[in-house]
Each structure stands twice: as structure tokens, then as C-alpha cells.
């Protein structure tokens, strides 16, 4: 990719904040694709198509399966070509899929559209936010924590606001026209924003990360060939692993296992907790209000954890997220019907969500660098997304088989505690030692990308 003249903004504002704003909007506007907002459409779709809740639940599973299939390719494309035109194509794809949902007449058409929509890469939970997570991490190193947290807040705000917006739309214009409007908004805003504003990395436009005056030194490239210690660098440094090098580290696989446990437990709890509260006799409006508080807690804590990540090792923040998530099972296990218990679960759950979400967006660039982070995230995403896709159907099967919800919540709590505990022991890997041939190959790959 050819390097352009320096891209300067009036007032000396670093262009990376434009990237953050576009990523924020991408997370916000594509929130209708996530399972929480989809739940608003369940009742009218069931009535219109005449399907059961279990049958409709497979829509999300099919979408996660296709998202897992596409993630490795999407990650490589974002590394090599940047998120600009990849994002344009994916935004058109996502918008078209939502428009198509407004025209379905049977469950098999809905399954097909949901499956196809997963290839867009937008609105995918469980490690699949490549198009909105990789760009801000590429543009910042020193201020990466706050930059990524600002972008990530778009997802929390989008979930909270689109639950309300979709409820109004479904009530006033119907679920089909609501999907149509959502699709037009996604395509109509994301296509021009990604096309005109998004860029891959600051070096492509004559800038440096964080708006610095000096380039960042790649410790792996600066390491003398055949030695065990990196060369001393006078300026800012980072370590850039290739995908092959990253897969040879214990750190990557421990991170993947931890997030796999977390994603599996998360989707199971999300599927089961509302029916569980209903079985206890908790009023539906109270449940809705408590669930709606969750995204706001996530937003506030995401901002806090983002700033903390610039001073505290990201592994400790992620570990705390797992601990908070495990603690959030206590109100469920006590089985109380009071509103304070429902709110207590959602508040503690939201704190844990922010901690784990911050880790998912920061740990890969922090441990393995910017150059191949899309490929690395895409390589591990199918494992995490696949775990989430299998969780809800399995929990549904266990519930139908008579397994007590409290036992499922207990298992989920243990898995979340294990996920957080793993991060206590995940240290950043040592910079790779490369032969001359390996170093030449890494430099050629970086130039090609």
C-alpha cells in the first residue's frame, strides 16, 4: 500500500480520533444485529411465521457459525488492505441482509438470511469485532486503552438505545419495516463513513501512533539476528508477531481458552436468565428495566477500564472481569424474586462484561502488536464464536431435560472464574528471535500489507 502525504486535521487534532469515531458509530449502528436487540423481534416474528421459541433461537446460532467461518479471512483482509474498502463491502452486505429480513415468509428463509449476515463481520459478539476493534488499536499505542474503550462504548450505547428504538418501531410500523429501516440506516451511514474516513494505520498517511513525532520501533525487527536480547531502542517500541509466530506461543492459546470459556458461559446465562426470573414471578417490566441497566453499566466501566489499561497490565483487568462475572451468579443462585436481586445481578454482570470486553479488544495488540492483529484475532475468533454458538442450544436442551437452572448457573460461574483466573498467569510472550530468512519474510509481508 502506497504511503500518502501526512493527513492533518485543523487544530492539530490527531486523525486517529476520527478512526475512533467511525468505529464507535459502526458499533452503535450495527447493534440491531446482536442477540439482545433481536429479542425485541421474537414475539411478533413467532406470531407472524408461526414458529416456536426454540426454532427461532437457531437464527443466532447460524449467524455465529458463519461469522466464525469468515473471521480468519476478514482478519487477514483488514491487515493487508485495511478496513476502508473491506468495511464498505461489509456494511453493504449487513444492510442488505437486514433489508432481506423484512421480506422473509418462512423460517428457512430467515435461517438463510441470518447465516449469510454473519459474513458481514458487523455486530458479532465473542471476539468477532474485527472491523471496529482493530482500527482504533492500530492508531494508538500509548492511549490505546481510552481509544478502544471509546469505540467499544458504541456497542453498549447501541444495545441500550436500539432496544428502545426497535420496541417503538416494532409497535408502530411492524417488525418487517423495522428491519428495513435498520438495514437502510446501516448501509446509508457506514458505507460513506468507512469509504471516506477510515484508514488502515497512521504510517499509511504519513503519521505515527498517538500523533507522536517519531516512528515506533518494532522490537522483534530490532532484535539482532541469533541473539536472545532485543536491541535497545531510543523511541517508543512495540512487538509485532506474525500469525505463525503468535500461534507458537503459550500466551495466545491460554488467551483463546480463557475467552472460549467466557463466551460459552455468557451465552448460556443470557439465554436462561430471563425465563428463570419469569419462573420466579418477577414482573416483566422490572426484568426489562434491569436488563436495560446492564449496557449503561458496561459503558461506564468500559471507559474506566480503558483508562486503567494505560497504567495497569491488561491481563489483570481481564482477570477482574472474570471474577465479577463469576460473582454475578450469586444473585441467580440465591433464587430471590426481589427487584434488588435482579438489578444486583445485572450491575455486577455489567462490570464483568466491561472487564472481559476490554481484554478482548486490547490483549492481542498489547501482546502481539499491530501489524498482524487482524489475522491473529481472526484465527482465534472461530473458537470463541463457536463456543458461543453451541452454548444456547445446549442450555436449552439441558433445561428441557430437567436440569435445574441453578446447576447451570453454578457451572457458568465456575467457567467464568476459570477464564479470569487464567489471565493471572498469561504473561506477554518474549519477542520472537528470527533468522535472517524469517526477518526478511516478515519485512516483505509487512510491506505487502
Tens digit of each residue's pLDDT (9 = 90 or more) over 131-178: 999 999 999 999 999 999 999 999 888 888 888 888 889 889 999 999
Q: What whole-number distance in Å separates Cα of residue 383 and Cα of residue 155? A: 22
Q: Under DSSP, is residue 238 helix (H, G, I), strand (E, B) or coil? A: strand
Count of CA atoms in the C-beta half-sphere (13 A) of 167: 10
Q: What whole-number distance in Å separates Cα of residue 416 and Cα of residue 265? A: 7
31 versus 252: the higher-pLDDT residue is 252
The DSSP H or E segment spanning 132 is helix 130-139
Task: Decide if 149 contacts 137 (C-beta within 8 A).
Answer: no
Mean pLDDT of the chain: 87
pLDDT tens-digit series, residues 88-104: 999 999 999 999 999 99
Residue showing cell 426454532:
55
Q: Is the pLDDT of residue 367 over 60?
A: yes
Pairing mode, strands 237-238 and 217-218: parallel
Tell me if domain 10-205 and domain 240-448 are identical in fold: yes
pLDDT tens-digit series, residues 216-253: 776 665 554 445 555 555 556 788 999 999 999 999 99
Show me where the domains of the chain are located: 10-205, 240-448
Superfamily of domain 240-448: MFS general substrate transporter like domains (1.20.1250.20)
Q: Is the pLDDT of residue 440 over 80?
A: no
**Straight-line distance from the first to the last Cα atom of the chain, in angstroms, rounded to the nearest whole number:** 6
Task: Please give the pLDDT value at position 289.
Answer: 83
Alpha-carbon distance values, 411 to 1, 28, 274, 395, 407 (Å)? 48, 32, 18, 11, 6
Task: Please give the pLDDT value at position 5.
Answer: 64
433 versus 270: the higher-pLDDT residue is 270
Confidence class for position 388, pLDDT limits 50, 70, 90? confident
Q: Is the pLDDT of residue 69 over 60?
A: yes
Residue showing cell 515506533:
216
Average pLDDT (341-358) is 93
State the fold for domain 10-205. Growth Hormone; Chain: A; (1.20.1250)
Alpha helices (H) in 1-143, listed in sequence order: 16-29, 35-38, 42-49, 53-81, 83-101, 107-117, 130-139
Task: Please give the pLDDT value at position 271.
Answer: 80
Q: What whole-number distance in Å separates Cα of residue 254 and Cα of residue 246? A: 12
Alpha helices (H) in 309-372, listed in sequence order: 314-327, 329-334, 339-368
- Strand segments, DSSP code E, in 169-321 are 217-218, 237-238
Confidence class for position 87, pLDDT limits 50, 70, 90? very high
DSSP 231: P
Task: Please give the pLDDT value at position 436.
Answer: 58
Q: What whole-number distance in Å separates Cα of residue 417 and Cα of residue 323? A: 5
Q: Under DSSP, is residue 227 helix (H, G, I), strand (E, B) or coil? A: coil
Task: Please give the pLDDT value at position 432.
Answer: 84
Least-confidence region, from 13-17, 210-214, 345-349, 352-356:
210-214
Whole-number percent of the chain with pLDDT over 90: 53
Alpha-carbon distance values, 294 to 120, 147, 209, 288, 405 (Å)? 26, 22, 33, 10, 21
Q: Is the pLDDT of residue 419 over 80?
A: yes
Amino acid at each position: 500500500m502506497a504511503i500518502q502525504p501526512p493527513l492533518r486535521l485543523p487544530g492539530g487534532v490527531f486523525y486517529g480520533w476520527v478512526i475512533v469515531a467511525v468505529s464507535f458509530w459502526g458499533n452503535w449502528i450495527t447493534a440491531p444485529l446482536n442477540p439482545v436487540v433481536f429479542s425485541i423481534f421474537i414475539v411478533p416474528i413467532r406470531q407472524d411465521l408461526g414458529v416456536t421459541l426454540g426454532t427461532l433461537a437457531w437464527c443466532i446460532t447460524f449467524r455465529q457459525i458463519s461469522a466464525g467461518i469468515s473471521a480468519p479471512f476478514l482478519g487477514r483482509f483488514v491487515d493487508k488492505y485495511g478496513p476502508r474498502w473491506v468495511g464498505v463491502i461489509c456494511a453493504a452486505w449487513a444492510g442488505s441482509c437486514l433489508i432481506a429480513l423484512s421480506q422473509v415468509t418462512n423460517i428457512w428463509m430467515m435461517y438463510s438470511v441470518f447465516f449469510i449476515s454473519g459474513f458481514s463481520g458487523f455486530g458479532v459478539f465473542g471476539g468477532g469485532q474485527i472491523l471496529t476493534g482493530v482500527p482504533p488499536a492500530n492508531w494508538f499505542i500509548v492511549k490505546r486503552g481510552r481509544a478502544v474503550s471509546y469505540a467499544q462504548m458504541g456497542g453498549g450505547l447501541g444495545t441500550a438505545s436500539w432496544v428502545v428504538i426497535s420496541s417503538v418501531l416494532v409497535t408502530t410500523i411492524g417488525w418487517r419495516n423495522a428491519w428495513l429501516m435498520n438495514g437502510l440506516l446501516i448501509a446509508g451511514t457506514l458505507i460513506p463513513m468507512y469509504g471516506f474516513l477510515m484508514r488502515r494505520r497512521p504510517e499509511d498517511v504519513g503519521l505515527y501512533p498517538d500523533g507522536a513525532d517519531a516512528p515506533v520501533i518494532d522490537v522483534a525487527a530490532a532484535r539482532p539476528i541469533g541473539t536472545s536480547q532485543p536491541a535497545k531502542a531510543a523511541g517508543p517500541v512495540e512487538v509485532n508477531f506474525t500469525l505463525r509466530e503468535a500461534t507458537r506461543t503459550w500466551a495466545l492459546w491460554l488467551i483463546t481458552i480463557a475467552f472460549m470459556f467466557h463466551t460459552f458461559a455468557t451465552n448460556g446465562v443470557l439465554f436462561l436468565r430471563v425465563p428463570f426470573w419469569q419462573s420466579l414471578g418477577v414482573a416483566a417490566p422490572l426484568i426489562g428495566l434491569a436488563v436495560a441497566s446492564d449496557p449503561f453499566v458496561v459503558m461506564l466501566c468500559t471507559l474506566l477500564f480503558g483508562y486503567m489499561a494505560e497504567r495497569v497490565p491488561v491481563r489483570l483487568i481481564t482477570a477482574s472481569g472474570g471474577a465479577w462475572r463469576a460473582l454475578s451468579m450469586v444473585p441467580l443462585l440465591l433464587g430471590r424474586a426481589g427487584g434488588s436481586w435482579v438489578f444486583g445481578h445485572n450491575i455486577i454482570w455489567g462490570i464483568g462484561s466491561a472487564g472481559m470486553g476490554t481484554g478482548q479488544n486490547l490483549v492481542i495488540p498489547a501482546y502481539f502488536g499491530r501489524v498482524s492483529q487482524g489475522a491473529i484475532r481472526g484465527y482465534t475468533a472461530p473458537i470463541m464464536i463457536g463456543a458461543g454458538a453451541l452454548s444456547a442450544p445446549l442450555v436449552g436442551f439441558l433445561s428441557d431435560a430437567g436440569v435445574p437452572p441453578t446447576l447451570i448457573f453454578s457451572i457458568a460461574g465456575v467457567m467464568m472464574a476459570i477464564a479470569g483466573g487464567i489471565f493471572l498467569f498469561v504473561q506477554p510472550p518474549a519477542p520472537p528471535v528470527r533468522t535472517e530468512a524469517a526477518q526478511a519474510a516478515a519485512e516483505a509481508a509487512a510491506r505487502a500489507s
